[in-house]
Amino acid sequence: PAPTNNLDAFWMPFTPNRQYKAAPRMLVSAKDMHYRAADGHEVLDGAAGLWCVNAGHGREKIVEAVRAQVAELDFAPNFNMGHPKAFEFASRLTALAPKGLDRVFFTNSGSESVDTALKIALAYHRARGDAGRTRLIGRERGYHGVGFGGLSVGGMVANRKAFGLGLNGVDHLRHTHDPARNGFSRGLPEHGAELADDLERLVALHDASTIAAVIVEPVAGSTGVLPPPKGYLERLRAICDRHGILLIFDEVITGFGRLGAAFASELFGVTPDIITTAKAVTNGVVPMGAVFASSKIYDAFMSGPEHVIELFHGYTYSGHPMACAAGLATLDIYQEEGLFERAAVMGERLADGLHALKGLPHVIDVRTVGLVGAVELEPIEGAPTRRAYAAFTKAFDDGLLLRTTGDTIALSPPLIISEAQVDELVGKLADVLKA
Ligand code: PMP
């Protein structure tokens, strides 16, 4: 069906779309950098699907790997059993992970990776006889998925409060000390360390011995694309170390080359204790997530002291053969084509293009890091998000797929993007903004 405003014709089997009362745009196929819509309309993918299709669409190598796998072994139970590709993929992944994170646990999504990471952190402290460490800390404007774990530590207040129920003992770091400013960009980019000191406020409030872990996205994606201000992650790491608190980076978006390095941890030179990933781990082709931890932390989770029998964690589809096959082919492509390095180079071109849009109507901020860009628009008074949605609509009609979060346009094209396509993307966006 073509886009229509008659919502009565639809009920949505996925994300609610109450706000705009518009039916979804139907995508029917995809190849490399483009989606094709039901009416034959082609759009340049400026979002890598939903931050996941880092190697581009319809990659033959991945398609073939999945096809061969499903024909050979379609499913393998993972209780007391396994299959070779799960182990092969696990060792390929840990070889890529930041040094010291030499274990991985498979999940099926970012939300599950977050739940898993929080449980690993709690189990680790328990196993060390430190069972009083149960408090979890997230950040205002953090996004960690839609499970109750991720909702609770997430900082999207409406998402959390709508259900009136969440994990106990959760706090949130402040996003800014000055509500009039965006603590992560406008006004305060040099004050990262100072902002991270907010963790000391929570430590003083609760006592460090009650705090299990802090979870942050190194670059927040779904809440407006917020690269960390200078010194922020370093200071969080230092405070966590001082107080025996585990640091979790949610790299569901930033993992697998998005920032021009395998992981954000590598780019920023800060290694957390646990990393959550999903999305691009399989190029988005088969749902999968992966949680990285050091063997010390992982082993505590896997064996726990007195919980050997009771402690259970795992998903029916953990390490699904098709996901592992897709993931192995995906890693081959990332490495053979040098896509992480390519992202760094194309990211510079994207940054130059986007920063040049600064004078255009309603543009109040431009933020870039790696192959991620954000153009923040001034909200229409009384109608937040409408301006960005209008940009999304016009861009789609003009042949460019954008993602918007609030009134921020987020750009994260597949890492295979060419120079000409970066220019095309920026040019189309400029036309949209002018209009
Ligand atoms: N964490 C982060 C940082 C994310 O960006 C997302 C998804 N956008 C999630 C967790 C949740 O992932 P999923 O939608 O796969 O559950």
Q: What would the mean pLDDT of 302-311 be, rounded to a whole number? A: 63
Model confidence pLDDT, tens digit, residues 320-372: 999 999 999 999 999 999 999 999 999 999 999 999 999 999 999 999 999 99
Say yes or no: 263 and 385 in one domain.
Answer: no
Mean pLDDT of 302-313: 66
Distance CA 66, CA 44 (A): 25
Closest C-alpha to ligand 1, atom 7: 145
Residue 254 Cα: closest atom of ligand 1: 3
- 24 — pLDDT class (breaks 50, 70, 90): confident
Ligand 1 neighbour 225 (Cβ under 6 A):
no
Q: Provide the CATH number for the domain around residue 145.
A: 3.40.640.10
pLDDT value of position 309: 53
Between CA 290 and CA 317 the distance in angstroms is 12
Q: Is the shortest distance between the CB of 143 and ligand 1 below 6 Å?
A: yes
What's the gap in Å between 252 CA and the centre of ligand 1? 6
Q: Which of 15, 252, 265 to mutate to test the pocket of ligand 1 (most atoms within 8 A of CB)?
A: 252
- Cβ neighbors of 325 (< 8 A, separation 6 or more) are 65, 66, 68, 69, 85, 286
Q: Residues 243, 391: one domain?
A: no
Instruction: Identify whether residues 327 and 342 lie together within a single domain.
Output: no
CB burial of residue 417 (10 Å; 0-12, 13-18, 19+): buried
255 lines ligand 1 (CB under 6 A): no
Nearest ligand 1 atom to the CA of 220 is 3
Question: Is 430 contained in some domain?
Answer: yes
pLDDT of residue 14: 80
pLDDT of residue 1: 45
* Strand order through the sheet with 34-37: 27-31, 34-37, 42-45, 400-401
Give the Å distance between the CA of 224 and the centre of ligand 1: 14
* pLDDT beyond 90 at 34: yes
Decide: 256 and 110 in contact? Cβ < 8 Å. no
Q: Are residues 328 and 402 in the same domain?
A: no
Whether residues 74 and 133 share a domain: the answer is yes
Q: Is the CB of 115 under 6 A from ligand 1?
A: no
Is the pLDDT assigned to residue 5 strictly greater than 70?
Answer: no
C-alpha 372/C-alpha 425 separation (Å) is 13
ipTM of the complex: 0.99
Q: Which of 317, 336, 355 is the last residue of a domain?
A: 336
146 alpha carbon to ligand 1 midpoint, in Å? 8
Domain stops at, among 307, 336, 365: 336
Are 100 and 161 part of one and the same domain?
A: yes
**Which among 288, 248, 287 has a CA at the least distance from the CA of 144?**
248
For residue 25, pLDDT over 90 is answered with no
Q: Is residue 1 part of a domain?
A: no
Residue-range definition of the domain harbouring residue 390: 7-55+338-434
Position 249 scores a pLDDT of: 98
Residue nearest to ligand 1 atom 1, measured at CA = 144
Indicate the DSSP class of residue 210.
G
- Segment 284-299 mean pLDDT: 96
Is residue 425 within 8 Å of 413, Cβ to Cβ? Answer: yes
In this structure, the answer to whether residues 320 and 178 fall within a common structural domain is yes
**Domain end residue (candidates: 276, 306, 336):** 336
Decide: 221 in ligand 1 pocket, CB within 6 A.
yes
pLDDT at res. 253: 98
Residue 156 CB less than 6 A away from ligand 1 = no
| Ligand 1 closest atom vs CA 111 | 16
Residue 36 vs residues 29, 30, 163, 297: alpha-carbon distances, Å: 5, 6, 37, 45
> For tokens 């726990």, what's the residue?
304
Q: What is the pLDDT of residues 77-136, one digit of tens each?
A: 998 899 999 999 999 999 999 999 999 999 999 999 999 999 999 999 998 899 899 999
Mean of the per-residue pLDDT values for the chain? 93
Residues 27 and 86 in one domain: no
Pairing of strands 246-250, 274-277: parallel
210-226 burial string, b = 16+ CB within 10 Å, else e? ebbbbbbbbbbbbbbbb
Residues 133-156: what's their mean pLDDT? 96
Q: Is 144 in the pocket of ligand 1 (CB under 6 A)?
A: yes
Q: Which residue has the higher pLDDT, 154 or 306?
A: 154
Q: Average pLDDT, stretch 64-69?
A: 98
Neighbours of 178 (CB within 10 A): 12
Task: Give the whole-number percent of the chain exceeding pLDDT 90.
Answer: 81
User: Residue 13: its pLDDT value, please?
Assistant: 79
Distance 417 CA to ligand 1 centre (A): 23
- With a 6 Å cutoff on the Cβ, whether 252 touches ligand 1 is yes
Residue 393: CATH number of its domain? 3.90.1150.10
pLDDT of residue 238: 98
- Considering the domain architecture, whether residues 154 and 46 belong to the same structural domain is answered as no
Question: Based on the structure, what is the number of domains in the chain?
Answer: 2
CA–CA separation, 153 vs 16, rounded Å? Answer: 22
| Pair (74, 112) in one structural domain | yes
Is residue 24, in this structure, part of any structural domain at all?
yes
Q: What is the C-alpha to C-alpha distance for residues 118 and 150, in angstroms, rounded to an integer?
A: 9
Average pLDDT rounded to a whole number, residues 142-162 = 93
230/155 same-domain check: yes
> Are both 173 and 197 inside the same structural domain?
yes
- Name the band, by pLDDT with cuts 50, 70 and 90, for residue 310: low
* pLDDT bucket at 160, cuts 50 / 70 / 90: confident
- Assigned domain for 143 exists: yes
